[in-house]
Structure 1
Amino acid sequence: MNYEIVHLDEKIVAGCCARTSNTAPDMGQVIGGLWQKFYSPDGHPAIPGRIGDKALGIYTDYADAEKGEYTVMVACEVSGADVPGFFVRKIPAGTYAKFIVKGHTVTAVQQFWQELWQMKLNRSFVCDFEEYQNADFENAEIHIYIGLQQ
């Protein structure tokens, strides 16, 4: 898979989140449920201070490597940290490997992550995220950023 090395500035994001793992039997329902909640009337449309229309799928807190657990968040970039009713986090500034994935939203992203786990990247396991460039479910363009060690 081709990628480029980029440096990103810090972003403040707001949305909904949950804890899961790649081996959890309900992982798909957990992540899918976050996306449904995010796109409900009480989700994305209700987030004050949104910057742009891009949705983000964010993976952080890889604290328990033995269990493979992480926090997943579905969010959008916001202008400030005061966003009542939503979880607020920072995507840290840093060096990331940027991949561009195109295709059906679900299958293209699933295939990407399966291939990524086979790659030998110097990952930081601090923050990885997907940035959805358009809302076309069948022909999506997704920029995926994988945090790298400095």
Structure 2
Amino acid sequence: MMNRMHINGFFLLGISVRTTNQDGQAAKDIEELWCRFMDNNILTRIVDRTGDEVYCVYTDYETDHTGPYTAILGCRVNSLDNIPVGLVSHVVSPGTYVKYTAKSWLPNRVGQTWQHIWDTCRNRQYIADFDVYGIKAHNPESARVEIYVGVAR
């Protein structure tokens, strides 16, 4: 399921990794990023959060989904005035996004949904895309993860 919508920009604090989708590298790198996020209690280090949803933002694309990009795992914050040591900040610009929903059996279904996006979404901007892991993502068997893909107007 997908919907086209305008998203206001937002600030993000978290941790990041530079990766690529080539040879399954992103799956490994992003899994390690999640482990670092959980093992180091990064959520508790992000002050001034707008909520407890965890975002995985994909940005700084070198080319398109086949080239290197940066994945940032973190939370939306009200401002970037207080950046704790060891965390990175990012500004997601406002824009037009298409919303997809990955349903059940995480993380496999999120990966399958991204594969579908890579195969079918032709008007991507490659500025910022993101997944939102909210309360509905807590149970892997019945999870719902919202995926937002930046597109041309």
Distance of 1:65 and 1:4 partners within structure 2: 22
The aligned counterpart of 1:141 is 144
| 8 A Cα contact 2:21 2:65, kept in partner | no
Q: Report how many residues are paired.
A: 149
Q: 5+ residue gaps in structure 1? A: none
Q: 5+ residue gaps in structure 2? A: none
SS of structure 1 residue aligned to 2:119: coil
| 8 A Cα contact 1:133 1:140, kept in partner | no
Map Cα deviations across residues 30-58 of structure 1 (whole Å, 9 max, x no partner): 11111111123441111111121111111
Distance of 1:15 and 1:66 partners within structure 2: 22
Runs of 4+ in 1 over 3 A off after TM superposition: 64-67
The aligned counterpart of 1:131 is 132
Higher helix fraction: Structure 1 or Structure 2? 2
| 8 A Cα contact 1:132 1:140, kept in partner | no
| 8 A Cα contact 1:54 1:131, kept in partner | yes
Map Cα deviations across residues 65-98 of structure 1 (whole Å, 9 max, x no partner): 5961110111111111022221010111110001
The aligned counterpart of 1:15 is 14
Map Cα deviations across residues 128-148 of structure 1 (whole Å, 9 max, x no partner): 100012222232111100001
SS of structure 1 residue aligned to 2:49: coil
The correspondence of residues 1-150 of structure 1 with structure 2, limited to 5 A, is 2-24=1-23, 26-65=25-64, 68-81=67-80, 82-85=82-85, 86-134=87-135, 135-150=138-153
